[in-house]
Amino acid sequence: MEKYEAMSGNLPFTREQMQAAYALNLCTVSVSQIIAYADTTVLEQEYETILNNLNLEYMPKDEALLEIIKRLLETITFFRIQESEKEFIEKEYQQKMKNAIWTAVPNLALLVAGGNPISMGVSLASQVGIGYMNYRKNRAQYNLDRDQQLWKLQRSAVEQFEGLQQQLFEAAWRLADKYNFPDAFRLTEKQIKQYNAILMDEDIVRKYERLDAMREHFAAYPPFWYYFGNTANAIANSSDLGISEEAKEQFRLEAKKYFAYFQKSNEYNLLREDAISAACNLEYVDLLDPVADHDQILKLIDDAARYAGNSFDVHQLCAISYLKNGEMARAAKELRLLVNEDYNAMINAQLLSTIYVEQYYVDQNAAAVAPYRMLSSRVNGKYLFPMPKDKEKKLADLHQDFIANQRVILHQMYRLVLDRFMEKYAVQINQIIPLPGQSSGETYPDSIYLDTDYAREERLRKVELALGNKNREMTYKQEVADVSYSYQIIGILNRLFSAICVLECVQDQHTRLVLEEAVKEAIHALREEIGEIEEKLQDFDLDTYREVQKITLHELTRGFREKLLETVRESVESKTEMQDFAIAETNLVRFCTKEGIEQPEFLYSHKDDAEEGEDEITFFTPDLLSDKAVSQNERVKKNAEMIRCIHEKIDAIVLKKDVVEFYTQEDARMNRYFYNKALQNYGWIRAKTLAVLDDRSWGDCDILFTTEGIMPIIRGKAKNAVGYSDVTWTANTRKKELMMGVKYENGNLDMDALYELIVTLSSYAEKI
C-alpha cells in the first residue's frame, strides 16, 4: 500500500499520465466486464455508469481512444435492456431499500422527539449498496426469479465486444507511447479477466485474499481500491464467518485505509457523475466516529450527493446518512428531491413528514405546517406521520395513529390486489368455452370475459350470432365439443390456489387447509351442473351457453374469498412495526410480479381513478333483426330533465362566481374544459357529462354531473363516479362536508343546495 502512496505522491508522474492510464483501464475493464457477465443488465450499467458518463474535458485527446469509445456506445445501443426488465430490477432494489430503512428506523416517533432515529449499526450503503453494486451481488437470485434468457447477452453481441476489446488493447500502445506512462499502469487482458472473476466470487474471505494478492497491478485503476475496501467492510459486518470482534475491527481499519486510498487515487476522476465514489464515501462515513469526525462525515455525504447526479439510489442513501447524523435540513432536501422524482415516493414522503412534524412539535416552528400540507396534497395523507392539531397530543398517540393508517393502507392493498387476481382467473374460467372464430385467429380482449353484466351480454350476442349462421354454426359447435370443460376448471383452480399460497398470510398449514376445504365444498356443490354442461357441449346451443355463464369463478370459490379476506385482516391487524409492513408489502409485490398484476402501491395510489381512453360501446345488436328493437327516447327525456334541474339550481349553489363556474353540456365552456390536456384522455366521460362545476380555487376539485352520478376531478385527474344516491354527508359536525368517493367541502358553494340537487338527480340517473 505504501508503495502506491509513494508512487502517487512523490514520483515524477504527471496528472496527464495518470489520466491517460486511468481512461484506458476504465474503458478496457468496462468492456471486459460486459463480456465476462454476458448480461444485458450489466451492459446497461456500464453504459449508464461508465461509458456514457465520461467527462470528455478530462479525457486524453487521442483520436484512436475517442473513436473506440464512440464505437462502443454505438454497439451497446443495439443490445440495451428492455424497459420492462429495468423496471423489474429497479422495483426489486427499491423494495430491498425500503425493508432496510424500516429495519434502521423502527419508530418514526423517535425522529419527531428530536432523537437519533437510526438504530442499526450497519451502514445501508454497505448492506444494500447502490443499484450498480446491488445487482451484481444479487445477480444469481434475480436469475432464479426471472427467466435467465431475458438478460443473456447474445453471442453475436459478445463477439462484437471482443472485437472492440482487441482494438482497445491496440490503442493502449499509442497512449503509452504518447503519454509515456509506465507499462505497470496498464492492465493486461489476463489481469482484467482474473479481476472480473474475483469480483464475482461469492466467498468474501477468499475474494479479499485474491484482491490482496493482485493489488500491486492496480495503481492506475481507482475502482479496485473501493472494491477492496468494500470487501473488507463486508467481512467486518458479517455475522456468520466465525470471526472475532478483534479481527472484525482490524478489517474495519483495512476498509478505512482502502477507502481513503481510493479517494486519493481518484483525484483524477474521469466521470461526470460517480456512483462508485459516492458509495465509497457513504460506506466510509459509517466507519467514522459520529462525534469526533462530524465535519469530515458531513463533507463525505455532501460530496456523495454531488457525485450522485441523477442516480436517485445514491440520493436515497445520502438522505438516510444525513438523518443518521442529525442533519434534518440536509435530509429534507434529499427527500424532497426523491418525492418529486417519484423515487420510492411513499417511504420518502413518510420520512419527510416526520421532519416537518419534528420542526413543528419540537422546534415550535409553525412554518413547517405549510410544506407538510403541500406534501399531503401530492401523497395520500394516510401514508404520512400525522401532524398534530395541537402540541399537547402525545407522541405515542401520534405513532399509534400512524400505525393504524398503515394497517388501513396494507389492508386496502391486499383487497385491490386480490380483486385483480380473482379477475384474472375469472377471465380464464370464462375463456374455457371459446367465443366464435377463435380457432381461425379471431381475437377478443380480456374485458369481454369479465364477470360483468355487460361482458356476459356481449358474449351471449356473439354466440347467438354464430349459432344463427349456417356457415359458422358447425365449425363453432365442433370447437366447443372438443373442450375438456371439467378438466380445465380443475386446472385453473389448482393454479389459482398454488398462486395464493405464495402470500405471507397463507403460509401455515392450518390456513391452507381451511381455504382448500372452502374450494372443495364449492366444487362439490356444483358437480352436477358441471357434469350436465360437459354432456351438453356435444350438442351445444344457446341455452347450454347460458348455463355455462352461471359457472363463474365466484360460484367456484364461494366461501374461499371470504375466508381469505379474513386471514388477510388478521395478518394485517397483528402488525405493529414498520418493518413488518415492509416485509408484507415485499411479499405482495413479488406475488403481483409473478401473477402479472399491477404493483400494490400503484393500485392503491390509483384506486379511485377513472379509466382513461374511449369507451367501447356496442351501438347496434342482433335484437334489431327481430321484433325487439329498443327505443332510447326514455333516456333522452331523463337526460333533458336532469339538465333542467341543474339549470334551476346553479344560482342557488354558486356563491362566488368569480371562483367557481357551473355550466351544462350545451355551453361552449364544456368543450374548452375537456380540451384541457389533462382531460383529453377521458373521451368516454365527456359523452356522459351533463354539467361541470369548475372550481378555480386553491382546492381545485371540480365536479362532473354525469348521467350516472358525481365524478370528482382532482387537479385534472378523474376519480371513479359515485351514484347520486350514494352521496352522503360525513360525520363532521364542524363544517358541511359531503362524501362522494372523496370528502368534499367548498366555502364558495351553498353545500345544502348542492346536496338537494344531487338528491333530485338520483331519481333520473342511469345505474353505474
Each domain of the chain, given as residue ranges in start order, spans 411-605, 634-762
Q: Which residue has the cell 467481512?
A: 235
Distance between CA atoms of residues 375 and 339, nearest Å? 9
Whether the Cβ atoms of residue 708 and residue 768 lie closer than 8 Å to each other: yes
What pLDDT score was predicted for residue 686?
80
Distance between CA atoms of residues 532 and 748, nearest Å? 63
What average pLDDT does range 486-502 have in this prediction? 95
Q: Which among 244, 241, 253, 257 has a CA at the least distance from the CA of 207?
A: 241
What pLDDT score was predicted for residue 11?
43
- pLDDT grade, residue 206 (50/70/90)? very high
What pLDDT score was predicted for residue 316?
92
Beta strand 701-706 with 709-714: parallel, antiparallel or unpaired?
antiparallel
What average pLDDT does range 440-466 have in this prediction? 90
What pLDDT score was predicted for residue 160?
76
What pLDDT score was predicted for residue 249?
93
Q: How far is CA 16 from the centre of its chain?
A: 44
pLDDT at 231 over 70: yes
- Distance set, CA 284 to CA 208, 279, 407, 662 (Å): 18, 8, 37, 61
What pLDDT score was predicted for residue 628?
45
Q: Which among 522, 499, 686, 673 has a CA at the least distance from the CA of 593?
A: 499
What pLDDT score was predicted for residue 69?
79
Q: Average pLDDT, whole number, for the chain? A: 84
Distance between CA atoms of residues 585 and 581, nearest Å? 6
Higher pLDDT: 245 or 607? It is 245
Q: How far is CA 248 from the centre of its chain?
A: 37
pLDDT at 4 over 50: no
Whether the Cβ atoms of residue 124 and residue 317 lie closer than 8 Å to each other: yes
Higher pLDDT: 106 or 592? It is 592
- pLDDT grade, residue 609 (50/70/90)? confident
Distance between CA atoms of residues 712 and 726, nearest Å? 14
Give the DSSP per-residue string, 662-691: EEETTSHHHHHHHHSGGGTT-HHHHHHEEE
What pLDDT score was predicted for residue 395?
81
Question: pLDDT tens digits, residue range 22-64?
Answer: 888 888 888 888 888 887 778 877 877 777 787 777 777 777 7
pLDDT at 456 over 60: yes
- Asked which of 412-416, 679-683, 691-695 is least confident by mean pLDDT, the reply is 679-683
β-pair partners for 744: 738
Beta-carbon contacts of 139 under 8 Å, excluding residues fewer than 6 positions away, are 37, 39, 41
Beta-carbon contacts of 191 under 8 Å, excluding residues fewer than 6 positions away, are 214, 217
What average pLDDT does range 707-721 have in this prediction? 86
Higher pLDDT: 533 or 45? It is 533
Maximal C-alpha separation, the chain: 101
Task: Name residue 390's amino acid.
Answer: D
pLDDT at 387 over 60: yes
- Helix, strand or coil, per DSSP, at residue 100: helix
What average pLDDT does range 107-123 have in this prediction? 62
pLDDT at 238 over 60: yes
Whether the Cβ atoms of residue 321 and residue 335 lie closer than 8 Å to each other: no
Q: Which among 226, 205, 69, 41 has a CA at the least distance from the CA of 135?
A: 41
Q: Write b or e for each residue in 221-249: b if 16 or more Cβ atoms lie within 10 A of its Cβ, otherwise e.
A: bbbbbbbbbbbbbbbbbeeeeeeeeeebe
pLDDT at 334 over 90: yes
What pLDDT score was predicted for residue 166?
74
- Helix, strand or coil, per DSSP, at residue 743: strand
What pLDDT score was predicted for residue 8?
45
**Which DSSP helix (H) or strand (E) runs through 452?**
none
- pLDDT grade, residue 417 (50/70/90)? very high
Q: What is the DSSP letter of 359?
A: H
Distance between CA atoms of residues 765 and 768, nearest Å? 9
pLDDT over 70, % of the chain: 87
Question: pLDDT tens digits, residue range 620-664?
Answer: 555 555 544 444 567 788 989 999 999 999 999 999 988 899 999
Whether the Cβ atoms of residue 45 and residue 135 lie closer than 8 Å to each other: yes
What pLDDT score was predicted for residue 84?
59
- Distance set, CA 691 to CA 393, 609, 670, 743 (Å): 44, 20, 8, 20
Question: pLDDT tens digits, residue range 178-194?
Answer: 878 877 888 888 998 99
Q: Give me 204's grid cell.
A: 468474501
Q: What is the 3-state secondary structure of 155-222?
A: HHHHHHHHHHHHHHHHHHHHHHHHHCCCHHHCCCHHHHHHHHHHHCCCCHHHHHHHHHHCHHHCCCCC
What average pLDDT does range 443-457 have in this prediction? 90
What pLDDT score was predicted for residue 64?
73
Task: Name residue 639's amino acid.
Answer: N
What pLDDT score was predicted for residue 3?
44
Beta strand 709-714 with 738-739: parallel, antiparallel or unpaired?
unpaired
What average pLDDT does range 388-415 have in this prediction? 88
Q: Please state, as a whole number, how many other Cβ atoms lie within 10 Å of the Cβ of residue 159.
A: 10
Distance between CA atoms of residues 122 and 324, nearest Å? 11
Phi-psi region of 114 (alpha: psi -120 to 50; beta: other; left: phi over 0): left
Distance between CA atoms of residues 660 and 705, nearest Å? 15
pLDDT over 90, % of the chain: 44
Distance between CA atoms of residues 159 and 86, nearest Å? 24
Beta strand 709-714 with 722-723: parallel, antiparallel or unpaired?
antiparallel
Whether the Cβ atoms of residue 502 and residue 511 lie closer than 8 Å to each other: no
Question: pLDDT tens digits, residue range 245-288?
Answer: 999 999 999 999 999 999 888 887 888 888 889 999 999 998 99
Angle between helices 328-340 and 345-361 (to 10 degrees): 140
- pLDDT grade, residue 10 (50/70/90)? very low
Question: 84, exposed or middle or buried, with CB in 10 Å at 0-12, 13-18, 19+?
Answer: exposed
What pLDDT score was predicted for residue 681?
66
Whether the Cβ atoms of residue 578 and residue 108 lie closer than 8 Å to each other: yes
What pLDDT score was predicted for residue 139?
62
Task: Name residue 568's amino acid.
Answer: V
- pLDDT grade, residue 675 (50/70/90)? confident
Whether the Cβ atoms of residue 118 and residue 110 lie closer than 8 Å to each other: no
β-pair partners for 661: 694
Higher pLDDT: 137 or 3? It is 137
Question: pLDDT tens digits, residue range 62-81?
Answer: 777 777 777 777 777 766 65
pLDDT at 677 over 70: no
What pLDDT score was predicted for residue 471?
85
Beta-carbon contacts of 268 under 8 Å, excluding residues fewer than 6 positions away, are 15, 18, 19, 22, 58
Question: 17, exposed or middle or buried, with CB in 10 Å at 0-12, 13-18, 19+?
Answer: buried
What pLDDT score was predicted for residue 5?
44
What pLDDT score was predicted for residue 7?
40
Q: Give me 700's grid cell.
A: 381545485
What pLDDT score was predicted for residue 391?
67
